[in-house]
Structure 1
Amino acid sequence: MTSYRIFIADAFTSVPFRGNQAAVVPVPPDAPINDHLMQTVAAEMNLSETAFVTPVGQDSSFETSSRFELRWFTPVSEVKLCGHATLATAHALFFEENNTNDTLYFDTLSGELTVRRKEDNRLEMAFPADAPEHIEDDENAKVLVAAVLGKYKPTIELMISPSLRYMIIYDPDCNETELASLAPAIDKNAIEAGNRLLTNAVIVTTRGSDRDYKCRVFAPWVGIDEDPVTGSAQTVLAPFWNSRLGKTSFISQQCSQRVGELQVELVGSHVIVSGQTVVVLRGSISV
C-alpha cells in the first residue's frame, strides 16, 4: 500500500465548520492512483467531493509547478466540474504545499481552469459560463418541481444549463425565508424524471434582501442530497441573474445549514468566483 497526504478543508468560508467540505489528495506523478481507487477513497471520505491533484509537465513539484491535473469524485461518481473542491485544492497547494506561484492552472474535464491568489488569503477562480436555456412545458421538469417545492405552478420559470445539466427553478413567489425552509422529497419518480432530463442537479434560487441572490442546490443524481455551497452552480446562476438584475458582479449566498457566501463576477464567457478556505484536518491515507 502507498501512503498519501490528505487535507479536509471548508471552502467558501473563513470560519471552520461552515461552508462546504472537500477532501484534497496530492498525488505525485510517480505514484498514480487508478480510477477505481479514486472512487473508493471518495466513498470512504463520504464528502460531497474528494479532489485528486497531480503536477504535470517537466516540473513535478507541488511547491513550484504551476500546472496540475485535477479530478473530482463524489461518493458515487466522477463529476465534470466542482467549484468548492477546486478552491480547496488551490488553497492546499498555496498554503499547505507552499506553492510559489501566484496563478495555478488546472487541466480538468471542463478544460483549463485558473485560480489566482488574492489578498487576505482569498482565491479567485475562473470557470466557463454555462448560461441556462428555457425548458418548455416538460412533464419531467414538472415532476421535479413538485418534488422540490411541493407543487408545480405555471408561473414557475424552469431552465437547464447545456453543459453541466443543472436545472434552475425560479418561483417568483418563493422568498428567501421559504427557500431556507424547503424540505424536498426527491423520491424514485423524481430521480427517474431527472434522469430522463439528464439532470445532474436542481438549483432553487431567489432574489435576496441582503445579497444579490440566494440559492440551494440538490444533487442526488451524483450522490449528494444537498450540496452546502456550490461554486459550479454560479456558472449557471450568474448568467441567469445577469439578465434579470442587469449586473455583472454579485454577492451570492447559499442558505443551506452550513451557509456559504461567494463573490461572483460574469466576465465575457467566464464566471469568476472568489472565496476563502479553512483547512480543518491534515493527515494521510493508505491506498
Structure 2
Amino acid sequence: MAEIYQVDSFTTERFRGNPAAICVLNKFPDPKIMLNMAREMNLSETAFVVRNNNEFSLRWFTPTFEIDLCGHATLAAAHILWTEGFWQKDKPIIFNTLSGKLVIKLINGCIQMDFPVIDYHEITEVPNSLIEGLGGITPTFTAKSGKNYLIEVATEEEVRGMHTDTSKLLECKMQGVIVTAKGSDKYDFVSRFFTPEVSVPEDPVTGSAHCTLAPFWRDRLGGTKFKAYQCSERGGELDLELLSNRVLISGNAVTIFKGTTLKEL
C-alpha cells in the first residue's frame, strides 16, 4: 500500500489555491504506473516522493505526461513531509528533480521554495489563434519563455475578465500561455496560466510561471520583492523574492484528505 494525500497549495483556505496529489513511496514504480495514478487523481499535478538518506527525490506528472518543474506540487510535497512527520520542521528539505536540486524551507509557518529563474525574450508576432483563444485581448508586450508564451495586457480587469477558447489555444502548439498585468490594491501584479496541451485548460496557481513573472516584473517595476495573485476561479497568493538567477517563492498549504492505495503502486 502507498500513502496518498491531496493538498491545496498557495492558500490558507480549503478548496482554494491549486490542488495537488502527493504519493510518499519507498521507491518509484514504473513511470506508466505513476502516469496512470496521475490520470486517476485527475489533477493538474500528482507528485511522487522517495526518501534517499537525508534528501528526497521528487517527480511530477500531469494526467498526460511527466514534467520538468512544478511549484504547487513541490510546495504540497514539502507541506506533507513536515506535517505528517516524514521530516523535521526545523530542517530544510532538499528535493532532487529534473530541474536540479530544490531547497525548501519552513519560515515563520510559510513554505519557501528556491527555484531557478526562467528567462523570457520578446517576440513581435504571435499566432492569431493565440489572441482568439484568449478572447481577443490586446497585448501590450509579447514574449516566449521556455515552452510558454508570455502576454502582458494593460489592466488587471482584462486578465480577470478573459474568456478563453481551448480549441484555438491548442492550435498554437505551445505548452502554456501566461497572461499578466500590473496589479492594483495589495498585489504588485496578477496573472493567469492556460495549459490545454497538458490537459489542464487553466492552472489555478502556478509556481513555475512565477519563475518567469518575477524577472519580467523586476524589469517593469524595479525591485526584487513582489506580492502576486493568480486570479483563476480558485485564486492563490505568492510572495516572491528575486535573486541573481533564482526565485524564492513562498506560500501556504492546506491538507484536504489522506488515504492509502489498496495495492502497492
Q: TM-score range by the shorter chain?
A: over 0.9
Q: Tell me the matched-pair count.
A: 261
Q: How does 1:100-179 map to 2 (within 5 A)?
A: 100=88, 102-119=91-108, 121-138=109-126, 140=127, 142-150=128-136, 153=138, 156-162=140-146, 165-172=147-154, 175-179=155-159
1:72 corresponds to 2:72: no
Q: Amino acid of the residue matched to residue 124 of structure 2? A: E
Shift of 1:245: 0.1
Q: How large is the Cα RMSD of the aligned pairs?
A: 1.4
1:185 corresponds to 2:165: yes
Task: Report the 3-state secondary structure (helix = DSSP H, G, I; strand = E; otherwise coil) of the residue aligned with 1:75.
Answer: coil
1:49 corresponds to 2:31: no
Preserved contact between residue 143 and residue 149 of structure 2 (Cα < 8 Å): yes
Shift of 1:102: 1.6
Point out 4+ residue stretches in structure 1 off by more than 6 angstroms. Answer: none
TM-score by length of 2: 0.94
Shift of 1:161: 1.1
Q: Amino acid of the residue matched to residue 40 of structure 2? A: E
Equivalent in 55, 71, 75 of residue 83 of structure 1 = 71
Deviations 1:128-164 (A, max 9, x none): 00121112324x3x3212211325x5x53111113xx
Cα distance between partner residues in 1 of 2:169 and 2:248:
32
Equivalent in 172, 178, 182 of residue 207 of structure 1 = 182
Q: How does 1:14-25 map to 2 (within 5 A)?
A: 14-25=12-23
Preserved contact between residue 264 and residue 271 of structure 1 (Cα < 8 Å): yes
Task: Report the 3-state secondary structure (helix = DSSP H, G, I; strand = E; otherwise coil) of the residue aligned with 1:149.
Answer: coil
Cα distance between partner residues in 2 of 1:97 and 1:282:
14
Deviations 1:251-271 (A, max 9, x none): 000111111000011111001
Cα distance between partner residues in 2 of 1:206 and 1:191:
23
Preserved contact between residue 4 and residue 284 of structure 1 (Cα < 8 Å): yes
Preserved contact between residue 153 and residue 159 of structure 2 (Cα < 8 Å): no
Q: Which residue of 1 aligns with 2:193?
A: 217
Q: Amino acid of the residue matched to residue 217 of structure 2? A: W
Q: Amino acid of the residue matched to residue 33 of structure 2? A: L
Deviations 1:188-243 (A, max 9, x none): x53132x2xxx211011011112100001000111110000111111000011000
* Percent identity between the two aligned chains: 39
Task: Report the 3-state secondary structure (helix = DSSP H, G, I; strand = E; otherwise coil) of the residue aligned with 1:125.
Answer: strand
Structure 2 gap ranges (5+): none
Structure 1 gap ranges (5+): 60-64
Cα distance between partner residues in 2 of 1:128 and 1:181:
30
Cα distance between partner residues in 2 of 1:92 and 1:145:
39
Q: Which residue of 2 aligns with 1:260?
A: 236
Task: Report the 3-state secondary structure (helix = DSSP H, G, I; strand = E; otherwise coil) of the residue aligned with 2:223.
Answer: coil
Task: Report the 3-state secondary structure (helix = DSSP H, G, I; strand = E; otherwise coil) of the residue aligned with 1:137.
Answer: coil
Q: Which residue of 1 aligns with 2:85?
A: 97
Cα distance between partner residues in 1 of 2:260 and 2:201:
28
Preserved contact between residue 194 and residue 202 of structure 2 (Cα < 8 Å): yes
Cα distance between partner residues in 2 of 1:208 and 1:190:
25
Preserved contact between residue 219 and residue 227 of structure 1 (Cα < 8 Å): yes
Q: Which residue of 2 aligns with 1:62?
A: none
Preserved contact between residue 249 and residue 266 of structure 1 (Cα < 8 Å): yes
